[in-house]
Amino acid sequence: MTIKAIFGLFVLLISCFLFIQCTPKEKADFALINGKIFTVDKNDSFVEAIAVKEEKIIAIGSNKKIKKYIGKETHVLDVEGKLVIPGLIDAHLHFASGGQSLTTLTFRGVDSVKKIQEMIAAKIKTLPEGAPVFGSQYDHTLFPGGKWPTKEDLDKVSPNNPVVIRRVDGHSSWLNSLALKQSGITRDTLSPFGGEVHKDPQTGEPTGILKEAASSLIKVKGPRPRSLPDKNIARALKHASRLGLTGIHTSSSLKEIELYKSLKQNNKLNLRVYAWLPISGLDTYILKGIKQGQGDNMVRVGFQKIFIDGTLGSGTALMFEPFTDEPEKSGLSQMEEEKFYALVEKAHKNGYQIGVHAIGDKGSNWVLNAVERAQKKYGKKGLRHRIEHAQILIPEDIKRFKELGVIASMQPTHCTTDMRFCEQRIGKERSKGAYIWRTLLDNGASLAFGTDWSVEPLDPMRGLYSCVTRKNIEFDYPEGGWFPEQKLTMAQAIRYYTLGSAYASFEENIKGSLEVGKLADMVVLSKDLFTIEPKEILTTETVYTILGGKIVYEKPMFGVPID
C-alpha cells in the first residue's frame, strides 16, 4: 500500500471517528430552536436552541448543534427569535388562597370608601337577608388622606348584614358594627398579645379595625363562603401557567400536600411545588419523620413558617424606633423574643429550614439573632434559613445575611406598592434601608424573588418591572425610581426569580437555569425583556410555558390553549 493510500485511509478513519463522536447516540423528545435563550448560567449566556429527553436538557447551543439531536419522533418548537428564559419560580405565595381570591369580592385598587360602599351594597342584593358579607384586599392608603376607615362607613350601607373585610396585606380586618357586636367586641375588649383592637381615642369605642392577632376575635353569624382547597388550587394552576410559572414556594398543610401529590398522579399538576408548613405542627412533623425536602421533583416539603411581626401597611411591622406617623407605636411582635429564639433553636436542632415573616428592622434583627444563636449551639448545618420579606433593615444586619447563610426571600412589588407610604410611616432616612436588593447583593447575600400572591398580583412581569425601575406601577412615579441606587439589571431580576428561588429550596442543581442535566422548565415570552422600554415589560405575555420539555400552556393566538 502506498504512502498516499495509507494517508487517505488514516484520514477516513479519523473522519469516521469524529462523525461518531459528534453524532448523538440519542435523539431528543423535544427541541426548541431559533430562540434568544437566556440561560442564567454563570456567564449569563445566550444560545439559540435546546434539546430535551425525559424531562432533562441533554444539549444546548446553536441551531446547528441541536439539529443533530432531532429525529423523526422529536417534537420541534420553532420560537422564531423570541426570548426564552428559565421557568419562573415564585419563592413566596399563598397558592390556594390566591386561587380563592380569583372568585371572591375583592377591593384591590379601589381608591375610595364610597366605591367600596357601592360594591358592598350591590353584593348584599344578591345575598339572603342578614347574611354576612366577606371581602378582601382593601387598601386604606389609597383613600383620600390615607386614613383608616371605620365601622360607621360600613354601617351606612350594611346595617343588617355583618361585614368583614381583610386588608390587602391580610394583617388587618375592617368590620361594621353588627360584626363587632356578633363577635362580642366592645370598648371593654382587651387587645390580645400580638394584636390590636383599635379604639377611638376620644370615646374608647372600637373603630372597626382589628390588627394582627385581634382578627382571631371575629365570630360573625351566618354562612361563610366555602373554601375548597382542591377547587382553589385547580383555579390557581390555570392562572399560574398563563403567567410563565413553573414552580412555587407556597403556604400549605399536610392535607394540601396530599392534594398536590394527587394532582401529580393524575397528570394535572403543571408546576413544581415547594410546600412550606406552619411551625405550630413542628412536634407532629418530628414525630412522623416529616422533613424538609421530602418528595420528588414535582412536590416537596418546604420550610417551617414562623410569623414574628406584621406589615408596614397595617403599621404592625416590628421596628426599633416608633413610626413617624404613629409615634406611640413601634409594631407588634407575634411572639415573645426568647420564646421565638427557643423555637428557632428547636427547628434548627432537628434539621428543619425555617422561613420567618419579618418586615420591620427589629423583626429581621431578631431572626438573624435567632439563627446565630442556633448555629453557635448546634452548628451551621447548611439549612439555608430564610427571612420572608426582609423589607426594612438596619445597616449592621446587612452583612449578617452572608455570614449566617440566611436567604432574603423578597417580593419586588412590595417595594413599588409600599413606596407610596413608606416615608410617611418611617421617614426618609429609615426608608434608605427598605427593599435594598442591590445593597444585599453587594454584601454577598442570596436573594429569592416572589409575589406574596394574593397580597400582590401573581404576574411576575410586575416584579421584573419593579426591579429595574423602582417605580410605582399604577401611578408611574417617581421619575428615575425610588432610591434608584437599589435598582437591578434585567439579568439580575430574572436570576433571582429563577435560580435564586431554586437555591432557596435546595434545588439549584436541578432547575433555575437552562443547562445540560437540568430539568427543561422554560418560558417563551412575547417581547424581548432585554431590549424593550421598561413600560413594555408590564404588557409582555407568556407565549409558551414548558415544564420538563412538555408544553403546559400555549397562548391562544399561537394555537389551542392547553389547560
Q: What burial class does residue 508 get, using C-beta atoms within 10 Å of its C-beta: 0-12 exposed, 13-18 middle, 19+ buried?
A: middle
d(CA 174, CA 550): 45
Sign of the dihedral defined by the CA atoms of residues 181, 182, 188, 190, in that order = negative
The answer to whether position 257 is within a domain reads yes
Q: What burial class does residue 558 get, using C-beta atoms within 10 Å of its C-beta: 0-12 exposed, 13-18 middle, 19+ buried?
A: middle
| 238 & 158 share domain | no
| 200 & 287 share domain | no
Phi-psi group of 508: left, alpha or beta (phi > 0 → left; psi -120 to 50 → alpha; rest → beta): alpha
Q: Which of 494, 483, 365 is nearest to 428 (CA)?
A: 483
pLDDT value of residue 4 = 53
Q: What is the CATH number of the domain that holds 408?
A: 3.20.20.140
pLDDT value of residue 2 = 59
The answer to whether position 309 is within a domain reads yes
Residue ending a domain, among 217, 237, 265, is: 217
The answer to whether position 435 is within a domain reads yes
For the chain, what's the residue count?
563
Return the bridge partners of 166, or none.
Answer: 136, 173
| 252 & 398 share domain | yes
| 199 & 260 share domain | no
DSSP string, 224-293: PPP--HHHHHHHHHHHHHTTTEEEEEEE--HHHHHHHHHHHHTT---SEEEEEEEGGGHHHHHHHT--TT
Residue ending a domain, among 175, 193, 217, is: 217
- At 421 the three-state DSSP class reads coil
| 517 & 538 share domain | yes
Domain that holds residue 112: 105-217
| 401 & 542 share domain | yes
pLDDT value of residue 557 = 62
d(CA 472, CA 467): 11
Judging by DSSP bridges, how do beta strands 49-53 and 56-61 pair with one another? antiparallel
Number of neighbours of residue 155 by Cβ within 10 angstroms: 15
| 412 & 510 share domain | yes
| 121 & 244 share domain | no
Residue 115, C-beta contacts closer than 8 angstroms, at least 6 positions apart: none
The answer to whether position 22 is within a domain reads no
| 190 & 234 share domain | no
The answer to whether position 21 is within a domain reads no
| 238 & 358 share domain | yes
The answer to whether position 308 is within a domain reads yes
| 456 & 498 share domain | yes
Q: Specify the number of domains making up the chain.
A: 2
The answer to whether position 3 is within a domain reads no
| 213 & 233 share domain | no
Q: What is the CATH number of the domain that holds 121?
A: 3.10.310.70
Each of the 563 residues of the chain gets a pLDDT tens digit; together they read 555 555 555 544 554 444 444 456 799 999 999 999 999 999 999 999 999 999 999 999 999 999 999 999 999 999 999 999 999 999 999 999 999 999 889 999 999 999 999 999 999 999 999 999 999 999 999 999 999 999 999 999 999 999 999 999 999 999 999 999 999 999 999 999 999 999 999 999 999 999 999 999 999 987 776 778 999 999 999 999 999 999 999 999 999 999 999 999 999 999 999 999 999 999 999 999 999 999 999 999 999 999 999 999 999 999 999 999 999 999 999 999 999 999 999 999 999 999 999 999 999 999 999 999 999 999 999 999 999 999 999 999 999 999 999 999 999 999 999 999 999 999 999 999 999 999 999 999 999 999 999 999 999 999 999 999 999 999 999 999 999 999 999 999 999 999 999 999 999 999 999 999 999 999 999 999 999 999 999 999 999 999 999 999 999 864 444 33
The answer to whether position 200 is within a domain reads yes
pLDDT value of residue 5 = 52
First to last CA, the chain: 67
